[in-house]
């Protein structure tokens, strides 16, 4: 029994002396309360929810709906897609390359404007600051019959030559990319807010 206690104390002393913390929060100061009203251009509140999660998980902020120290106004200015990847279409039977080119990769770009206000005085703390984030995603252009059918003319099913996520439509892949682009944008907003307040 004594040896177990001794080992535990040694391990505990080693971990704490190296700066290891058992708490997930890195910031030990007083948390700043913040509210985030409806984000214009975010009808499903997906960015709003992600931003709240990112700010509160940083350990520096607590989210409240009213009576906060600050409120953060975010407006989505644009949500665009740029075509960045293409491939040649193939003949369904022979596999020979055709002359037409199909798009297979997009870059989603979200641009926003962020302004922070002091809730009590209504004064602008900073902003408006432009912040944008991008994410690249793949998809299948269903203009090619080869992409719809994985069976060969002999009836066998070949190994699919696509990476995970590439067998979705452009609309589905665009929606799937939302989570990632909102995470990136939220992280950039957190960095902007933290750099100006702390």
Residue for token digits 């700043």?
32
Q: What is the C-alpha separation between 116 and 164, in angstroms, rounded?
A: 39
pLDDT in tens, the chain (198 residues): 666 676 666 666 666 555 544 444 455 678 999 999 999 999 899 999 999 999 999 999 999 999 999 999 999 999 999 988 877 877 778 878 888 888 888 999 999 999 999 999 999 999 899 999 999 988 776 655 455 455 555 655 554 555 445 566 777 787 888 899 999 999 999 999 999 988
Where are the extended beta strands (E) located within 41-96? Answer: 61-63, 70-90
In angstroms, the Cα distances linking 55 to 41, 49, 70 are: 20, 10, 13
In angstroms, the Cα distances linking 59 to 32, 34, 50 are: 9, 12, 15
Q: What is the C-alpha separation between 100 and 106, in angstroms, rounded?
A: 18
Query: By CB neighbour count within 10 A (0-12 exposed, 13-18 middle, 19+ buried), where does 49 fall?
Result: middle
Which residue, 146, 6, 122, 1, is CA-closest to 70?
Answer: 122
Q: What is the DSSP letter of 185?
A: H
pTM of the model: 0.72
């Amino acid at each position: 029994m004594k040896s177990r206690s001794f080992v535990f104390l040694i391990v505990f002393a080693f971990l704490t002396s190296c700066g290891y913390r058992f708490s997930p929060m890195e910031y030990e100061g007083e948390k700043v309360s913040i509210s985030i009203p409806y984000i214009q251009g975010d009808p499903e509140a997906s960015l709003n929810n992600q931003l709240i999660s990112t700010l509160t998980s940083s350990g520096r902020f607590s989210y409240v709906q009213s009576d906060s120290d600050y409120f953060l106004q975010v407006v989505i200015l644009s949500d665009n897609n740029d075509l960045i990847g293409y491939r040649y279409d193939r003949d369904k039977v022979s596999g020979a390359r055709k002359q037409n080119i199909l798009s297979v990769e997009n870059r989603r770009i979200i641009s926003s404007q962020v302004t922070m206000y002091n809730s009590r005085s209504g004064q602008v703390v900073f902003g408006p600051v432009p912040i944008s984030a991008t994410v690249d995603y793949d998809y299948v252009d269903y203009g090619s019959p080869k992409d719809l059918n994985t069976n060969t003319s002999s009836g066998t099913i070949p190994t699919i030559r696509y990476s995970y996520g590439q067998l979705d439509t452009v609309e589905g892949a665009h929606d799937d990319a939302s989570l990632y682009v909102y995470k990136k944008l939220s992280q950039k907003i957190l960095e902007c807010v933290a750099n100006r307040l702390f």
